[in-house]
Amino acid sequence: MANKFIVSLSPHVHGGDSVKRNMYGVIIALIPALLVSLLVFGVGAAIVTLTSVAACVFFEWAITKYILRRERSTVTDGSAAITGLLLAFNLPSNLPVWIVIIGALVAIGVGKMTFGGLGCNPFNPALVGRVFLLISFPVQMTSWPRAGQWAEYLDAETGATPLALMKQAIHGDADALSQLPSAWDMFIGNAPGCLGEISALALLLGLAYMLWKRIITWHIPVSILATVFVCAGLMHWANPVYASPVQHLLSGGLMLGAIFMATDYVTSPMTHKGMIIYGVAIGFLTVVIRAFGSYPEGMSFAILIMNAFTPLINTYCKPKRFGEVTKK
């Protein structure tokens, strides 16, 4: 018989999942938050987001082609665009374009490509970029436009974020907490802050979408949010200068971090048990930094610290092996 057949080992079928499907799924999940930021911060949000995404994609393409000299480019897999979006979401909407570009270069160049590109980076690239900017440009990175100035960009009027008010309260300003926006305003996104972090509602919609499409599992976001709620609740109960747990959950980058940053595949643990340990530790560190650190927000640092522990967690947290379960 002249037929030539393909001979390969089983399995001979594939479920149809792909890197692209997951990456574009995350991008779709980010759309509600993007829409809210455009609505609240207008032109500024658009400029910062576009710059960040374009710069991240460009740097990934350029580094792959001219420095790593790889034949196949990974630009179309969507991961660089996600880094760009997440970096932008972690920036104030009045940040000058050149600072955004530096952030993108650090995120992709240092955070991702130095380690070999997709799948190899130990730290979340967007957070590497963001923390680099926060340390290098502390003034620009901590002046937050008030909500609702959609025509202003660099000249937007700034105001104190809920987290800054919470910090003032801890430092003795008795009526700082009373100036906090209502829980509803913080839930829908009517408060100053980084452009993508303000609306818990939009971010939770994204979470629901990713859970529905099975892009991520509940373990990391739920363990972070639950830990923050419990820790912040205990502190509030012990001493009311600390804001209420609901205010903690709805403020700052907590939702964005718990749902989109800490769940980054590459830098989070591989087992469900490990994911819960990782999530609880991030939640705990965030509350500790918010309450006792010098920065008002601790989410980025907490995630980066736990990224460093991920290999250790992977070494010690093994899945429940078949047969370990005892007889019923």
Partner 1 sequence: MKTFRIGGVHPAENKLSAAAAIEVLGLPRQAVFPLSQHIGAPAVAIVKRGDKVKVGTKIAEAGGFVSAAVFSSVSGTVSKIDSVTDASGYRKPAVFIDVEDDEWEDGIDRSPELVSACSLSSEEIIAKIKNAGVVGMGGACFPTHVKLSPPPGVRAECVIINGVECEPYLTADHRLMLEKPDQILVGVELLMRAAKVNRAYIGIEANKADAIRLLTEKAASHPGIEVVPLQMKYPQGGEKQLIDAIIGRQVPAPPAIPIHVGAVVQNVGTAYAVYEAVQKNKPLLERVVTVTGRSVKHPSNFLTRIGTPVSQLIEAAGGLPDNAGKVISGGPMMGKALATLDAPVCKGSSGVLIMDDEEARRAEPQPCIRCAKCVSVCPMGLEPYLLATCSARGDWERVEHEMILSCIECGSCQFTCPSHRPMLDYIRLGKGKVGAIVRARNAKK
Site residues for partner 1 per CB under 8 A: 1, 3, 5-15, 17-19, 21-22, 77, 79, 117-120, 217, 265-272, 275, 318-325, 327-328
Shortest distance, position 64 Cβ to partner 1, whole Å: 12
Shortest distance, position 59 Cβ to partner 1, whole Å: 18
Nearest to 229 by CA among 216, 242, 218: 242
Shortest distance, position 217 Cβ to partner 1, whole Å: 7
Nearer to partner 1, 240 or 319 (CB): 319
Residues in Cβ contact with 166 at an 8 Å cutoff, skipping those fewer than 6 apart? 176, 177, 180, 242, 243, 247, 248, 251, 290, 296
The reply to whether omega before 11 is within 30° of 0 (cis) is yes
Nearer to partner 1, 200 or 313 (CB): 313
Residues in Cβ contact with 96 at an 8 Å cutoff, skipping those fewer than 6 apart? 140, 154
Nearer to partner 1, 111 or 193 (CB): 111
Shortest distance, position 218 Cβ to partner 1, whole Å: 12
Shortest distance, position 115 Cβ to partner 1, whole Å: 11
Nearest to 117 by CA among 89, 86, 85, 83: 83
Burial class, 296, CB count within 10 angstroms (exposed 0-12 / middle 13-18 / buried 19+): buried
Q: What share of the chain is helix, strand, coil (3-state, %, to 5)?
A: 60, 0, 35
Provide Rg for the chain, Cα atoms.
21
Nearer to partner 1, 51 or 268 (CB): 268
Report yes or no: 64 and 74 within 8 Å, Cβ to Cβ.
Answer: yes
Nearer to partner 1, 175 or 324 (CB): 324
Nearer to partner 1, 197 or 264 (CB): 264
Shortest distance, position 167 Cβ to partner 1, whole Å: 35
